[in-house]
A and B are shown apart, each in its own frame.
Chain A
Amino acid sequence: MKINVFIERKNENALLEMKEGTSIKDLLALLEINPVTIIPVKNGEVVIEDAKLKDKDTIKLMSVVSGG
């Protein structure tokens, strides 16, 4: 399945191929992002890290850490 990810801190978009049944937690592990530093937003809604992903989901990783 394909997941569209926007990483706010880097202002970067990526289209990732993920296995069915993976969660936000797996996505964060893949991207090497510490869950403490982001808030995941799935298709416009704030979700927990255990939320499962579906094909064509859009994930925004909002930055918790402010930059200066």
Chain B
Amino acid sequence: MKTIRQYAMIKKGDIVASALSGGKDSMSLLLILNNFLRERNIEFFALTIDEGIEGYRDSTIEDATTFCKKHDIPLKIISFQKTLGFTLDAFLKKKKMNPCTPCGTFRRYLLNKGARDFKATKLATGHNLDDEAQSIFMNQIKGNLALSAKLGPITGILMHKRFIPRIKPLYFMTEKEVTIYSLVKQLPIKYNECPNFVDTFRENVGRTLNDLEQKYPGTKQGIVNAFLELLPELRKKYQRTTGEIGTCKKCQEPAAKDLCKVCELISSE
């Protein structure tokens, strides 16, 4: 809540879409928002994306539905099948690539589109301190500071009129703190690994950061704090990627090039 206030993430009159996967981060976020927004009379709803991953997503959607019913939170579910015309499983059968790449791209696209279609003015995601420290570290390793300029607790304010600004209220909470919160609040969370999950770059970086955190407590916080000091300069330098962007020629969604990443992936068959 301190983070929401410190960064003025949500204002009166906003309609907040809270991305809900059914995991501990997104459920904890929704519970925090449920208390914070109800008190302030701010409209909000949960938004779930159904990628169509057999044996995985069905049970998390069930958890999300039960949770929203219990707390009287409106839940919107958007499926790959209905909006894109295929499930992730079907897409991956045709293309050989790291499954997380198309999954993440399609998911981000549909979260933005879904939030906008349901009139949201902010899209809240459950990214925590670990996620952010990993992203900063990964971009550092790849030498891609332009990508880091797109990070931070609030993103996408000026990018495109069809782009819903994203907020990360759990930005300063470690993954461990979020897990403890979800335990204390008795959230219905089971350890559930995505069947497509592979040993990714992110996982390796996460493991390294956890080793460093164990040896030098405060490592992740330090990485994120130092990054936040640099972020205004980074955003100035990379204004071309963080400033206003164009429109996809095919689907009219926000795009950095002629085609957005989703249309690019679909048409590269």
Contact = CB atoms under 8 A, between A and B. Distances in A.
Interface of A: 8-9, 34-37, 39, 46, 62-68
Contacts of A66: 23-25, 175, 191, 193
Interface of chain B: mostly helix, strand, loop or mixed: helix
Interface in B13-66: 23-25
B214 interface: yes
Contacts of A64: 175-176, 179
A34 B214 contact: yes
A65 B174 CA distance: 10
Contacts of B214: 34-36
B191 A8 contact: yes
A57 B183 CA distance: 20
B193 A68 contact: yes
Contact of B210 (A8, A34, A39, A67): A34
Contact of B194 (A36, A37, A68): A68
B206 A67 contact: no
B105 to A, nearest CB: 15
B211 interface: yes
7 contacts: A35-B214, A36-B210, A39-B179, A62-B183, A64-B175, A66-B23, A68-B194
Interface in B166-193: 175-176, 179-180, 183, 191-193
Contact of B213 (A36, A63, A68): A36
B179 A67 contact: no
Contacts, number: 44
Contacts of B77: none
A66 B26 CA distance: 12
A37 B180 contact: no
Contacts of A9: 191
B201 interface: no
Contacts of B25: 66
A65 B206 contact: yes
A14 to B, nearest CB: 17
B23 to A, nearest CB: 6
Interface in B184-229: 191-194, 196-197, 206, 210-211, 213-214
A62 B24 CA distance: 12
B100 interface: yes
B197 A67 contact: yes
B175 A68 contact: no
B192 A46 contact: no
Contacts of A67: 191-194, 197
Interface in B96-148: 100
B191 A63 contact: yes
B196 A37 contact: no
Contacts of B180: 39, 46
B196 to A, nearest CB: 7
